[in-house]
Structure 1
């Protein structure tokens, strides 16, 4: 084909160029060979290579630089021109596609980069070359090519006639219509607003309908299609599964687009989009379940080329700056009630209050309410009810997927084909969210939200837990954008719906490990000073209210036996013990004890598990003691002591075991004292004192051991006082006050030391009063009262401090009445004490000590 071309005219370099081009196009490229064979264009009749070479020669004659010639010698560039003239129908004559492909190659190939380095624009050079090449082709079209074009045109006309003759009754429906909601209430205004946005805003032809999973996005979009279908020339509904591109390709057949079997998905999508763009406007396309950000980012530019389409996406994605959005809010309580009644005909009017509680528990999720109503319907009718609304409300306290009675229900949600979906609630809810779309970091953060209350959680509070999660802020914002969390920008807080929580807890097999950091963080926040009345070390009592609520939500989940969960139960029990809720404290202490017993039974040699079990017995003993069940308390303290004795025998050098054993002796002493066995109490207090002296002597710098020694002197003093040994008692109380004053003066910020000092002054006051040293006694009582007043003012939530203050007023009143002979002053003090104790007894009705003290002061009141 090139033999007749004068080498004198084009030069040896251009001849080599032409020969190389011809070889690549007609020998090395299989796609050319296959095409030429298919249309009988091989041989002299087909002169694409010659025309292409002539265009290159023309460029050479125009003295274009070598970079321009090299650009058009590139096989990818020549292939683009070839397809324009001789390719399949979708490519042939498509100028837009040629321009796009040339721009692509100019940006991605080295020859394009080389051309740009000469300060020439590849696309402008392509326009020049295209004009030359087009002229060469028109000048030399072969008879064979003309005949082929005529044959193609005749075939196309025949196909158009066939399509016309066999057209469906209503060609506007490019896909089957979606299911319609059984009941559509409360969304009519939403329909009108969406219609106004699409038809009255020139720049909002693509619109997000977003909201939480199960809120009714699909039902609203489906209703929009059926309501306004007459205003569109074509309507289509697709459900996005793997990707938007793959889902869109189902539109190829109804709009008569054909693909080469060798084309990849991107080539097919380009051709499809061009065909869609040719449809008469306005068209409607609804893409359901478009929840993946990267998928949207990749294919949105393609869809934006269809300016003749209104495109609706149903999605959980909350923030996508490139598109306008319309957020669906939950139905109002009354609207939701009407829907609930429609699905559950046996509903009775007196159950409305229960329904509103259920509505709040599931945060108004439309799908969940439908599922719950249909599940109730399967168990109840007008004649007999086997599963009441009250039963459902109680079950929901344990979790959305913990219903005591469930059956399969029919729903349209994610139904395939033309039938309804018949599944149990757990299966349907689990299918609402797929963790596979999330990164490991996103799953970990989401898992933390899944075990905390379904309420707004401030970012600063999460940071306060010192979770140590890198990029926590960015991960939270991404989860909010993807629709997994709700973000309140003004409050900088995030909220996770109960539905998402249930799905995450169900599907994440690594839930415990993903939540380990928040568990440890809460343990630290609720940590308290050992040997005290539960004084918090790392949080104020106001802050502890929040941490305790979070912890309560976390431990409500069914966890496997784990030491950190056991510790968390113990921390929560101690918080309630400190704030006066003994029954709640007992519940959590029992759960902690149950877990550590399981752990110890599985590994009896683990000393940490044995230590945890001993501590759990101590906590149970303290609680039963406060409940005035002294025999039960004694049993637990004896079990505690036995374990600590075994631990100390196993590791004699471990100081913490020795200190714990000392404290267990003090608990036994307290209990025997309360039971009236003062000699036995004295025995254990002496053991307590002996160990504490050894610890203090060995570690004089340890403040806790010094404090323990002071308390042991106080215990000995009180026992000797009860035995009538006032001089001996005074000796021990003076040793106690000496140590307690030193501790408080050296550590004024340590609240437990201040509390111990107040108790020490109380003991001295009572002893000097009994010994007749009235001025000293009054001084000590006044100092005691002042200290307790300060403690109550700084820690009003701590019931032990309020009880201490009430007792100080009461003792001062007795002193004024019996020793100082001032009954009026005494009555004033009794009244003040009575007010405090009445409040304590009301707040903590199970605390027998508060009740005894209240009865004590009531007996003192004269008016």
Structure 2
């Protein structure tokens, strides 16, 4: 095909994308060829024989070369074709070659969602049996599907029925052969090479490697550029030979070439080929020349400007003392009332700060302010990227307009000297200081405040408390939509999706604009796809790599590369960086400061409230967090949060810095096992961390996250009805499945999870699976029974309860006896499981129809539970006992006692602050029915109010 391009287009200088693949392939062949020559390896390299590259030596290696801008997965046609072709080569050569390898080599990388190929590439020897099995099955699956694809293509041709029958028969035989053949040797001999760089970078990289090799003394100091062209031409010439055996590249060929003079070598260069395949270098050179021309023009313009400025009379001060951003060609939407409010305050206060997170539109607001209020005599706009004093001191235009010159000794006080000159300017003047990323120096701000003849508008990410400050309001939905649609009109988007997206990004004006432009410039990207990728934290997805243009940026940018630069965190110290990484994993809004102090442990509260308070104050000054009006809560802007998480994922050990926070949070939730209301405040933080750290980035913190998820799901049982038809059981299954892969088979934590999964199955009335997992937990704990007495008893009691639900009194009582034997064996007659055992006996008598005996036993159980230390008992169980007692009295038609005990059950849950528990709502519903039955109107109305209040809280 390369020959066809050369002949047809006669060096097509616009064919970079078309030729790049050939160039990369030829460069790869050239590198292998000359590397073998330098290292004296007796390997014959073939081009365009059986595959892109065939190497014959001690090993037989077939290499498929791909130069792509997109990523690969097992769904990629190129990979599936390569595997099938490799298999055919394996069948052809395997009997005569023991050492045979198949290499798929590419510049790009594996697609994020491709798990098997990622693991295979990282573990090429496939020592993990589970991984090997997955790879083995995947290769077989691909081979079978490729046979079917090729069969279907052949059948679509105009052929006879006899030919169709032969094709079908041959393909079925081929499939059976694949299905019945052990392909282990084939699978283990596949090599994956993913270089994780762009096509352009890959070509530059391999060129550098080749130039380094050509500099070796073995090439007799021949000019490397000459050799490069000669050897590349030789590869092309060899590849065109009809006889495949003549397409070989050997060490002897290079030796013959090196014996020729430079003039002789120049004659054998294929000029069309080298010019065609080196276009990108020529383009780079042209770009450099253009840059140099542009720089020359800019230099001339600057000289003209300097001359123009110096010609001003010393007494002439222009209206615009600095360069002012373009305010006339753009329309800034929103903030109409706010702009008047700021103008009124500037007249009185003289200095006003507008603060908001990056990208919310502070600069756009200031442009609109300038366009709205034009009655200023003089205007200055200072962009601050390092420090305020630096921005003033190195603004050449300002210096020229002020008509002042400085000597070397002035450098220390240059900022003050400039402010002094500005202060001499009379009139109604405006200074805008647009602080981009820097930490604010209050000393510098106080110096700016001393300029008396100027109104000062400070734009910053930080809330400056020393001066009058206002947070920039977020724009309305209508204006946000107008910004989006003015930059993207390729698809009709319903208001519901737009509103959800705008809320998610907190109406960040910059992100709205960048999103719209990215979608508009893409081929098939939609807002729905974009939104889903953002929520899944796939900020480096290939769909985002769309070139777009942004005002005041030189050249094109890509959305998340730009945002990463925009929201850099270079000013943070290690302590701040570690803590913001932790905070970013928590919910983006309503993070209670007291909660995050308590997570570190109540014993360290006084110490941590100072340390953590100081860190949060510092982060607020740098514009990364925002206090609520009561200063009891903090928020992190959603985009800042996403960028921080993205950066954390790129670290060598992602999220390892926050491992202790995970452990501490787990401990706080676990402390709530006997006092559930103590842990409810922490559940939302655990859920957020688990949602924020995706599976593929958990390696460094995997086990702590398993423990956190276990405690979280277990705590939910006190607040959420985990009965039939909920997702709770699915989450437990998922957790246990992952824990089995990462915890030892005898790990007691795994046993705890087995028990909790069994409880979930029991709540879903899947008693068979419940017993299976209870027994799995029991096997682990039984190995150290004396250490885990309470847990062994708990599991046996759990199984007893299942038997009772199935009306199986015999098995329930047998297990009850086992529990009593264990208690006697270890002289262990303590813990709230004793109350559970009274409940088991009560249930047994209830099944037998002896309600009086059941009531008596349950009352004994309640008495025993109340005798336990308050801190070592969970009164959630006490409420359940009262609820069960109420039911027993109903069975006896004693409505009065049923009401009394149901009221006790409700009061117990209310006393332990489980006011948001689904179980409390159920009890309200039961007692309401009892009140209605008895006609107790006042109490009926009281409970209805509680139910309505409960539902309002939930909504």
Shared fold, TM over 0.5? yes
Cα distance change, pair 515–435 in 1 and its aligned pair in 2 (3 A): farther
Query: In the alignment, is residue 371 of structure 1 matched against residue 514 of structure 2?
Result: yes
Decide which of 689, 696, 708 is 1:568's aligned counterpart: 708
**Secondary structure at 2:359's aligned position in 1?**
coil
Aligned to 2:232: none
**Secondary structure at 1:436's aligned position in 2?**
coil
Q: 2:903·2:927 contact (CA, 8 Å) conserved in 1?
A: no
Cα distance change, pair 332–246 in 1 and its aligned pair in 2 (3 A): same
Q: 1:692·1:708 contact (CA, 8 Å) conserved in 2?
A: no
Q: 1:573·1:587 contact (CA, 8 Å) conserved in 2?
A: no
Aligned to 1:454: 588
Q: 2:757·2:770 contact (CA, 8 Å) conserved in 1?
A: yes
Q: 1:232·1:281 contact (CA, 8 Å) conserved in 2?
A: yes
Residues 606-655 of structure 1: per-residue CA shift (max 9 Å, x gap): x7xx1221111222111122222233323322322222234x1xxx542x
Cα distance change, pair 526–179 in 1 and its aligned pair in 2 (3 A): farther
Q: Aligned-residue CA RMSD in angstroms?
A: 4.8
Aligned to 1:358: 501
Report deviation, 1:436. Answer: 3.1
Q: 1:484·1:496 contact (CA, 8 Å) conserved in 2?
A: yes
Cα distance change, pair 720–373 in 1 and its aligned pair in 2 (3 A): same
Q: 2:669·2:683 contact (CA, 8 Å) conserved in 1?
A: no
Residues 416-453 of structure 1: per-residue CA shift (max 9 Å, x gap): 5xx245123x2233333333323455445544542332
Residues 216-272 of structure 1: per-residue CA shift (max 9 Å, x gap): 111222444566678445x554432222222223334534544445x4742443454
Residues 158-215 of structure 1: per-residue CA shift (max 9 Å, x gap): x999932999x996555544355854211455555555555x44x61x4433222111
Aligned to 1:659: 790
Cα distance change, pair 644–806 in 1 and its aligned pair in 2 (3 A): farther
Aligned to 2:195: none
Q: 1:672·1:678 contact (CA, 8 Å) conserved in 2?
A: yes
**Alignment of structure 1 residues 475-494 onto 2, 5 Å:** 475-490=615-630, 492-494=632-634
Higher RCO (CA < 8 A, seq sep 6+): 2
Cα distance change, pair 476–162 in 1 and its aligned pair in 2 (3 A): closer
Query: In the alignment, is residue 219 of structure 1 matched against residue 368 of structure 2?
Result: no
Aligned to 1:819: none
Residues 478-523 of structure 1: per-residue CA shift (max 9 Å, x gap): 4434433333334743322212222333345685644744763475
Report deviation, 1:331. Answer: 0.7
Aligned to 1:497: 637
Aligned to 1:536: 676
Cα distance change, pair 805–221 in 1 and its aligned pair in 2 (3 A): closer
Q: 2:729·2:757 contact (CA, 8 Å) conserved in 1?
A: yes
Query: In the alignment, is residue 754 of structure 1 matched against residue 878 of structure 2?
Result: yes
- Tell me how far apart the structure 2 counterparts of residues 192 and 671 of structure 1 sit (CA, whole Å): 70
Query: In the alignment, is residue 580 of structure 1 matched against residue 721 of structure 2?
Result: yes
**Alignment of structure 1 residues 294-443 onto 2, 5 Å:** 295-300=440-445, 302-304=447-449, 306-307=451-452, 309-321=454-466, 323-348=467-492, 351-379=494-522, 386-398=524-536, 401=539, 405-412=543-550, 415-416=552-553, 419-424=554-559, 426-443=560-577
**Secondary structure at 1:489's aligned position in 2?**
coil
Residues 682-734 of structure 1: per-residue CA shift (max 9 Å, x gap): 44343333224445x24x4x4x1xx3234335436645875x6x89x999997
Aligned to 1:178: 325
Q: 1:245·1:299 contact (CA, 8 Å) conserved in 2?
A: yes
- Tell me how far apart the structure 2 counterparts of residues 529 and 431 of structure 1 sit (CA, whole Å): 45
- Tell me how far apart the structure 2 counterparts of residues 740 and 276 of structure 1 sit (CA, whole Å): 82
**Secondary structure at 1:435's aligned position in 2?**
coil
**Secondary structure at 1:566's aligned position in 2?**
helix
Cα distance change, pair 804–711 in 1 and its aligned pair in 2 (3 A): farther
**Structure 2, unpaired ranges of 5+:** 1-305
Aligned to 2:93: none
Q: 1:764·1:780 contact (CA, 8 Å) conserved in 2?
A: no
- Tell me how far apart the structure 2 counterparts of residues 481 and 599 of structure 1 sit (CA, whole Å): 41
- Tell me how far apart the structure 2 counterparts of residues 732 and 270 of structure 1 sit (CA, whole Å): 88
Q: 2:584·2:645 contact (CA, 8 Å) conserved in 1?
A: yes
Report deviation, 1:379. Answer: 4.0
- Tell me how far apart the structure 2 counterparts of residues 368 and 683 of structure 1 sit (CA, whole Å): 66
Aligned to 1:266: 412
Cα distance change, pair 396–452 in 1 and its aligned pair in 2 (3 A): same
Query: In the alignment, is residue 690 of structure 1 matched against residue 821 of structure 2?
Result: yes
Cα distance change, pair 764–484 in 1 and its aligned pair in 2 (3 A): closer
Query: In the alignment, is residue 709 of structure 1 matched against residue 849 of structure 2?
Result: no
Query: In the alignment, is residue 251 of structure 1 matched against residue 379 of structure 2?
Result: no
- Tell me how far apart the structure 1 counterparts of residues 629 and 904 of structure 2 sit (CA, whole Å): 45
- Tell me how far apart the structure 2 counterparts of residues 752 and 165 of structure 1 sit (CA, whole Å): 84
**Secondary structure at 2:432's aligned position in 1?**
strand
- Tell me how far apart the structure 2 counterparts of residues 518 and 576 of structure 1 sit (CA, whole Å): 18
Decide which of 737, 742, 747 is 2:864's aligned counterpart: 742
Residues 719-763 of structure 1: per-residue CA shift (max 9 Å, x gap): 5875x6x89x99999777545423325668852463465478579
- Tell me how far apart the structure 2 counterparts of residues 796 and 192 of structure 1 sit (CA, whole Å): 47
Residues 382-416 of structure 1: per-residue CA shift (max 9 Å, x gap): xxxx4444444545544594879423353537x55
Query: In the alignment, is residue 553 of structure 1 matched against residue 701 of structure 2?
Result: no
**Secondary structure at 1:208's aligned position in 2?**
strand
Query: In the alignment, is residue 520 of structure 1 matched against residue 660 of structure 2?
Result: no
Cα distance change, pair 194–589 in 1 and its aligned pair in 2 (3 A): same
- Tell me how far apart the structure 2 counterparts of residues 301 and 529 of structure 1 sit (CA, whole Å): 53
**Secondary structure at 2:557's aligned position in 1?**
strand
**Secondary structure at 1:556's aligned position in 2?**
helix
- Tell me how far apart the structure 1 counterparts of residues 806 and 486 of structure 2 sit (CA, whole Å): 63
Cα distance change, pair 528–164 in 1 and its aligned pair in 2 (3 A): closer
**Secondary structure at 1:410's aligned position in 2?**
coil
Cα distance change, pair 640–232 in 1 and its aligned pair in 2 (3 A): same
Q: 1:398·1:556 contact (CA, 8 Å) conserved in 2?
A: no
Question: Larger deviation: 496-505 or 460-469?
Answer: 460-469
Cα distance change, pair 581–341 in 1 and its aligned pair in 2 (3 A): farther
Cα distance change, pair 301–265 in 1 and its aligned pair in 2 (3 A): farther
Q: 1:239·1:288 contact (CA, 8 Å) conserved in 2?
A: yes
| TM, length-normalised to structure 2 | 0.54
Q: 2:839·2:881 contact (CA, 8 Å) conserved in 1?
A: no
Report deviation, 1:352. Answer: 0.8
Q: 1:341·1:347 contact (CA, 8 Å) conserved in 2?
A: no
**Alignment of structure 1 residues 147-186 onto 2, 5 Å:** 163-164=310-311, 175-178=322-325, 182-186=330-334
Name the count of aligned residue pairs: 611
Q: 1:485·1:494 contact (CA, 8 Å) conserved in 2?
A: yes
Aligned to 1:506: 646
Residues 37-63 of structure 1: per-residue CA shift (max 9 Å, x gap): xxxxxxxxxxxxxxxxxxxxxxxxxxx
Q: 1:762·1:784 contact (CA, 8 Å) conserved in 2?
A: yes
**Structure 1, unpaired ranges of 5+:** 1-158, 381-385, 814-823, 844-863
Report deviation, 1:312. Answer: 3.6
Cα distance change, pair 449–311 in 1 and its aligned pair in 2 (3 A): same
Q: 1:400·1:502 contact (CA, 8 Å) conserved in 2?
A: no
**Secondary structure at 2:506's aligned position in 1?**
coil
Cα distance change, pair 179–409 in 1 and its aligned pair in 2 (3 A): farther
- Tell me how far apart the structure 1 counterparts of residues 542 and 756 of structure 2 sit (CA, whole Å): 33
Cα distance change, pair 676–370 in 1 and its aligned pair in 2 (3 A): same
